[in-house]
Amino acid sequence: MDCSELPIGDLNFLKDLTSRSGAEIVRELVECAPPSIEKESAAIKQAIKSENRQELKDACHAFKGACYSVQMSRLACLTKKMEAAIDDMRMARSLLPELDAACEEAIVWWYNVLNDELYL
């Protein structure tokens, strides 16, 4: 599957969540997303750098779950691909540029959602 064809995020999901849970809760979620993306991608990079397969598996699994929970389909897809490549560190390493680009795009997307209050 070509992950680049998947959306970065889902505004309809966030708007629905706002209607069910309230704007303040969703705002807190949106505020937490960029630093969480940075933290999780750093854990993946560290696992690859140290060539620690278990760390990579754990980091990818955690990031993938977090992405699915807030409908970040592209990042979920990429972390799923990376998780599947844990037995081939060269392959996992080759996915890093695509993951980095998607993380940067996602961070920009989340800041736009936050600053323009697109979740309302």
pLDDT at 36 (0 to 100): 96
Q: Is residue 75 part of a domain?
A: yes
Choice between 116 and 1, residue whose per-residue pLDDT is larger:
116
For residue 15, the domain's CATH number is 1.20.120.160
Instruction: Report pLDDT digits (tens) over 22-38.
Output: 999 999 999 999 999 99
Query: Which pTM does this prediction carry?
Result: 0.93
pLDDT at 1 (0 to 100): 80
Q: Is residue 120 part of a domain?
A: no
Q: Is residue 8 part of a domain?
A: yes
Average the pLDDT over 59-63 and give the result: 97
Domain count along the chain = 1
Q: Is residue 101 part of a domain?
A: yes
Confidence of residue 79 (pLDDT cuts 50, 70, 90): very high
DSSP for residue 4: G
Q: Is residue 94 part of a domain?
A: yes
Q: By residue range, what is the domain housing residue 42?
A: 3-115
